[in-house]
Chain A
Amino acid sequence: MRRFLFMRLATALPTLLGMSFIAFAIVSLAPGDPVMQELRAMGVVPKPEDILAIRAQYGLDKPFFSRYFDWLIRALQFDFGQSIASGRSVIDEILIHLPATLALALSSLIGAIGFSLALGLAAVSAGRATGAALRGLTILLVSVPSFWLALLLIYVFVFQLGWGRLVGDGSIGDLILPTLTLSLGAGASLGRVVYERVRAEMCEDHIRLAIAKGLAPPVILFRHIVPRVIGPLATTWANTFGALLGGAVIVESIFGWPGLGQLILQAISQRDFPVIQAYLVFMGLGFFITSLLADFIVILSDPQLRREVSNG
Chain B
Amino acid sequence: MDDIIRKTRYLPVLRLHVSAGRVGLVLGLFLLAEFVALGLAGYVIALPSPNSMDLLARLDGPSADHPLGTDHLGRDVLARVAAAVHISLGAALAAMAAILAIALPWGIIAGLSGGRVDAVMMRLADIIMAFPMLVLALAIIGFMGASLQASILGVAAAWWPSNARMVRALVLAAKERDFVHAARLCGASRGRIVLRHILPQILPPLAVIISLETASVLLALSALSFLGIGAQAPTPEWGAMLNEARPFFAQAPHMLLVPGLAVSLAVLAFNLIGEGLRDILDQREPYQW
Chain A residues proximal to chain B, CB less than 8 Å:
14-16, 18-19, 22-23, 26-27, 29-31, 131-132, 135-136, 139-140, 142-148, 151-152, 155, 159, 199-200, 202-203, 207-208, 211, 217, 220, 242-243, 245-247, 249-250, 253-254, 264-265, 267-269, 271, 273, 276-277, 279-280, 283-284, 287-288, 291
| Chain B residue nearest to A32 in the complex (CB) | B145
Give chain A residues whose Cβ lies under 8 Å from the Cβ of B143: 26-27, 29-30, 273, 276
Measured CB to CB, the closest approach of chain B to A298, in angstroms, equals 16
B131 part of interface (Cβ distance < 8 Å): yes
Give chain B residues whose Cβ lies under 8 Å from the Cβ of A146: 223
Give chain B residues whose Cβ lies under 8 Å from the Cβ of A279: 135, 139
Question: What are 5 residue pairs bridging A and B, where the CB atoms are less than 8 Å apart in the complex?
Answer: A15-B123, A26-B139, A147-B226, A151-B242, A264-B142
Give chain B residues whose Cβ lies under 8 Å from the Cβ of A145: 219, 222-223, 226, 239, 260, 263-264, 267
B156 part of interface (Cβ distance < 8 Å): no
Report yes or no: A29 in contact with B144, Cβ–Cβ below 8 A. Answer: yes
Chain B, 106-151, CB within 8 A of any chain A CB: 123-124, 126-128, 130-136, 138-146
Report yes or no: A147 in contact with B242, Cβ–Cβ below 8 A. Answer: yes
B227 part of interface (Cβ distance < 8 Å): yes
Report yes or no: A14 in contact with B123, Cβ–Cβ below 8 A. Answer: yes
Report yes or no: B227 in contact with A22, Cβ–Cβ below 8 A. Answer: no
| Chain A residue nearest to B20 in the complex (CB) | A132
Q: Report, as a range, how many residues of chain B touch the other chain.
A: 35 or more
B256 part of interface (Cβ distance < 8 Å): yes
Report yes or no: B219 in contact with A220, Cβ–Cβ below 8 A. Answer: no
Residue interface bits B248-280, CB-to-A below 8 A is 1, else 0: 011001001000100111011001100100000
Measured CB to CB, the closest approach of chain B to A160, in angstroms, equals 10
Report the separation of the CA atoms of residues A143 and B264 in the bound assembly, to the nearest whole angstrom: 5
Report yes or no: A19 in contact with B142, Cβ–Cβ below 8 A. Answer: no
Report yes or no: A151 in contact with B246, Cβ–Cβ below 8 A. Answer: yes
Number of A-B contacts (CB under 8 A): 165
Measured CB to CB, the closest approach of chain B to A56, in angstroms, equals 23
Give chain A residues whose Cβ lies under 8 Å from the Cβ of B222: 145
Measured CB to CB, the closest approach of chain A to B224, in angstroms, equals 9
Give chain B residues whose Cβ lies under 8 Å from the Cβ of A23: 139
Report yes or no: B139 in contact with A280, Cβ–Cβ below 8 A. Answer: yes
Measured CB to CB, the closest approach of chain B to A20, in angstroms, equals 10
Report the separation of the CA atoms of residues A156 and B131 in the bound assembly, to the nearest whole angstrom: 34
Give the contacting residue for A152; candidates B132, B250, B256, B286; CB below 8 A. Answer: B256
- By secondary structure, the B interface counts as helix
Known interface pairs A199-B286, A268-B141; A250-B135 also in contact (CB < 8 Å): no
Known interface pairs A143-B271, A203-B285, A250-B227; A155-B249 also in contact (CB < 8 Å): yes
Chain B residues proximal to chain A, CB less than 8 Å:
20, 24, 123-124, 126-128, 130-136, 138-146, 215, 219, 222-223, 226-229, 239, 242, 245-246, 249-250, 253, 256, 260, 263-265, 267-268, 271-272, 275, 284-287, 289
Given contacts A250-B223, A280-B135, 10 further A-B pairs with CB under 8 A are A30-B145, A135-B275, A139-B271, A145-B239, A147-B223, A151-B242, A152-B260, A207-B287, A243-B132, A246-B135
Report yes or no: B287 in contact with A144, Cβ–Cβ below 8 A. Answer: no
Report yes or no: B146 in contact with A30, Cβ–Cβ below 8 A. Answer: no
| Chain A residue nearest to B135 in the complex (CB) | A283
Report yes or no: A269 in contact with B239, Cβ–Cβ below 8 A. Answer: no
Known interface pairs A155-B256, A203-B285, A268-B138; A288-B130 also in contact (CB < 8 Å): yes
Report yes or no: A291 in contact with B223, Cβ–Cβ below 8 A. Answer: no
| Chain B residue nearest to A160 in the complex (CB) | B250
Report yes or no: B146 in contact with A18, Cβ–Cβ below 8 A. Answer: no
Report yes or no: A139 in contact with B275, Cβ–Cβ below 8 A. Answer: yes
| Chain B residue nearest to A23 in the complex (CB) | B139
Report the separation of the CA atoms of residues A265 and B146 in the bound assembly, to the nearest whole angstrom: 11
Report the separation of the CA atoms of residues A148 and B221 in the bound assembly, to the nearest whole angstrom: 14
Give the contacting residue for A287; candidates B130, B138, B242, B260; CB below 8 A. Answer: B130
Give chain B residues whose Cβ lies under 8 Å from the Cβ of A15: 123, 126-127, 130
